[in-house]
């Protein structure tokens, strides 16, 4: 894959390239933009480019590039902290390591994922390193909530904004760079709404077979939907409801006469077309509203009885 056209993020990549050419891609940077669009992947690619030993960087093949890809390069440090805050203990390593010379590469790179989770103590401790960054250290803060990062940290970093790819653009990237077949690339590109990171995450867990299984067992099955849904655990139910919403969205849009290639489930267009006469627009509106409401209940851990009642209402329409 060439760095110039990675992941379709042409604009941020060209800004990064101009910093690298000017030899000023060091110190603090913030990669901001919606969740799951590939900011972290770009940060890793940049790390490869800065440390690659080939002429055409990043080659993706040299020892340095491979170590970075496997996240085992001694000069690449990634800080992330799941659900909780990023505390001072989590970044102490950066504060110490940043002062040493790189072990193997040309640059030491610190990637702080979900940087909006830095608690005030950690953010303040980071400030000093951001104020006087060593020349061979790069700190990349990745965030989809830059407004939650303290102003003093924001003001010491150069900001690079990322945007979701157009859905069709993501489909092309998945086809070309990830060698997916056309129907899978279309589904993931459209279902993930242009968010590359999400599409790549779903690539392994939600292929055509899995998402079609949800359609077949919930929409086309004679078994009551309600029972089908209540057999799932919370995460499965969450995925099922989202997939179901996308099926009904497609039925709605096809019924409204939208171009076929705008639907998510292009691979099952024929089955969807057969369902158009089964639902009125009002019924489709009600089903989609009930699904969103159920998702909300699920997120708020509202008791199953209410959720069940709501799903039952959807089932009666289906
Ligand atoms: Zn390389």
Residue 227 within a domain = yes
Would you say residue 199 lies in a domain?
Answer: no
Question: What confidence category does residue 230 fall into, taking pLDDT thresholds of 50, 70 and 90?
Answer: low
Listed ranges 164-173, 211-220, 272-281; the one with the highest mean pLDDT: 272-281
Report pLDDT for 48.
Answer: 93
If one counts the domains in the chain, the total is 2
Cα(60) to centroid(ligand 1), Å: 5
Q: Which residues are paired to 141 by β-bridges?
A: 30, 112
Ligand 1 centroid distance, CA of 54 (Å): 5
pLDDT, residue 102, reads 92
Helix/strand/coil (H/E/C) assignment for every residue in 5-39: HHHHCHHHHHHHHHHHHCCCCCEEEEEECCCCCCH
Name the one residue in this structure whose structure tokens are 């055509």. Answer: 208
The CATH number assigned to the domain holding 147 equals: 3.40.50.300
**Domain identity same for 120 and 212:** no
Question: Does the structure show a pLDDT above 80 at 311?
Answer: no
Domain of residue 291, CATH code:
1.20.272
Distance CA 271, CA 105 (A): 54
Buried-state track 131-166, b at ≥16 Cβ within 10 A, e below 16? eebbebbbbbbbbbebeebeeebbebbeebebebbe
| 308 CA distance to ligand 1 middle (Å) | 54
Burial class (CB in 10 A: 0-12, 13-18, 19+), 171: buried
The verdict on 126 and 261 lying in the same domain is no
How much is the average pLDDT of 19-36? 88
CA of 110 to the centre of ligand 1 (A): 19
- pLDDT, residue 228, reads 63
* Whole-number pLDDT of residue 41: 86
* pLDDT at 1 (0 to 100): 45
Residue ranges near ligand 1 (ion) with Cβ within 5 Å: 52, 54, 58-59, 62, 65
Same domain, 34 and 94: yes
- Structural domain of 34: 3-161
Q: Average pLDDT over the chain, rounded to whole?
A: 84
45 Cα to the center of ligand 1, angstroms:
10
Rg of the chain over Cα atoms, rounded to whole angstroms, equals 23
| Domain-located, residue 188 | no
Å from CA of 87 to ligand 1 middle: 33
d(CA 181, CA 193): 18
Q: Are residues 11 and 151 in the same domain?
A: yes
Asked if the structure places residue 192 within a domain, the reply is no
pLDDT at 98: 84
Q: List, for residues 254-269, the tens digit of each pLDDT value.
A: 888 877 778 899 999 8
Spacing, Cα 56 to ligand 1 middle (Å)? 8
């Amino acid at each position: 894959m060439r760095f110039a056209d990675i992941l379709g993020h042409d604009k941020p990549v060209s800004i990064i390239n101009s910093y690298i050419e000017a030899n000023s891609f060091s110190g603090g940077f913030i990669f901001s933009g919606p969740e799951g669009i590939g900011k972290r992947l770009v940060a890793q690619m940049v790390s490869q480019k800065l440390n690659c030993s080939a002429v055409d960087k990043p080659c993706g093949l040299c020892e340095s590039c491979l170590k970075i890809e496997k996240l085992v390069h001694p000069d690449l440090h990634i800080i992330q902290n799941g659900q909780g805050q990023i505390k001072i203990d989590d970044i102490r390593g950066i504060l110490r390591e940043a002062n040493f010379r790189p072990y193997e590469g040309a640059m030491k790179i610190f990637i702080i994922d979900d940087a909006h989770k830095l608690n005030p103590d950690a953010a303040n401790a980071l400030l000093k390193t951001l104020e006087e960054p060593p020349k061979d250290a790069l700190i990349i803060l990745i965030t989809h909530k830059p407004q939650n990062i303290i102003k003093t940290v924001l003001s010491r970093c150069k900001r690079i904004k990322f945007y979701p790819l157009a859905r069709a653009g993501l489909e092309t990237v998945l086809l070309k760079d990830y060698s997916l077949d056309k129907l899978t690339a279309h589904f993931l590109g459209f279902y993930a709404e242009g968010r590359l990171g999400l599409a790549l995450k779903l690539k392994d867990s939600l292929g055509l077979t899995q998402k079609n299984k949800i359609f077949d067992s919930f929409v086309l099955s004679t078994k009551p939907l309600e029972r089908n849904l209540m057999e799932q655990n919370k995460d499965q139910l969450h995925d099922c409801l989202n997939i179901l919403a996308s099926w009904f969205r497609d039925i709605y849009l096809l019924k409204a006469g939208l171009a076929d290639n705008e639907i998510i489930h292009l691979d099952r267009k024929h089955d969807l077309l057969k369902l158009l006469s089964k639902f009125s627009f009002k019924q489709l509106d009600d089903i989609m509203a009930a699904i969103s409401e159920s998702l909300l209940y699920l997120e708020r851990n509202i008791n199953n009885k209410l959720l069940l009642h709501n799903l039952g209402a959807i089932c009666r329409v289906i």
